[in-house]
A and B are shown apart, each in its own frame.
Chain A
Amino acid sequence: GAVVSQHPSWVICKSGTSVKIECRSLDFQATTMFWYRQFPKQSLMLMATSNEGSKATYEQGVEKDKFLINHASLTLSTLTVTSAHPEDSSFYICSARADRYTEAFFGQGTRLTVV
């Protein structure tokens, strides 16, 4: 299947700092990228959807000023967790797909721990 690379795979940061997570589609052009968060023993919760070149659409309850999403090109989207707090500690996963009918491919995920 297609390859989506997410970086970093894990990060530990101090409370109050910002963390940037990158998601790249390596062998296809991703018109849409999704960002999810997953807490232990829970399913993936969609945070936002971004289409290349336009503003991200955030799900209800997700603060757009805290979780900044940029989808500047067809192969790269970034999620920046600003002013991170311990409750932001989670597993963040991106996914990308070429068009609206096809399956999405996932990055390896980023395990964020805020101390």
Chain B
Amino acid sequence: RKEVEQDPGPFNVPEGATVAFNCTYSNSASQSFFWYRQDCRKEPKLLMSVYSSGNEDGRFTAQLNRASQYISLLIRDSKLSDSATYLCVVNWGFSGGTSYGKLTFGQGTILTVHP
């Protein structure tokens, strides 16, 4: 089983649609969670962190379910500029008191928003 698993899509939606992405992770010791977006041939950029209580940033809502080891991202009122690959990222691997910990990426979900 992959450490972080996402539905690769692609998701093709019209402008204004609501779209949801799901992500599962295998390591129950995972500590923090993020959604990044990556545009074609560019580096990933942080979209938002994911908190246990759920959090919202404008049109974007992230949810975390630790019991089910599941993370979601909801995008409302999709814009053309939302077209990108969305990466689910999980942080785990702490070792005692060291600062070691690694970010593990899902394979990404491709979103295309069309007019």
Contacts and interface: CB of A to CB of B under 8 A. Distances in A.
B34 A107 contact: no
Interface string B73-106: 0000000000000010001001000111111111
Question: Chain B's interface: helix, strand, loop or mixed, by majority?
Answer: loop
Interface residues of A, number: 28
A31 B102 CA distance: 12
Interface residues on B, range: 20 to 34
Contacts of A46: 102-105
Contacts of B31: 100-101
Contacts of A31: 99
Given A100-B91, A100-B94, A101-B32, A32 B46 contact: no
A102 to B, nearest CB: 8
Interface string B103-115: 1111110000000
Given A43-B105, A46-B104, A103-B34, A109 B43 contact: yes
A106 B45 contact: yes
Contacts of A95: 44, 103
A11 to B, nearest CB: 15
Interface of B: 31-32, 34, 41-46, 49, 87, 91, 94, 98-108
Interface of A: 1, 6, 31-32, 34, 36, 42-44, 46, 49, 51, 57, 91, 93, 95, 99-109, 111
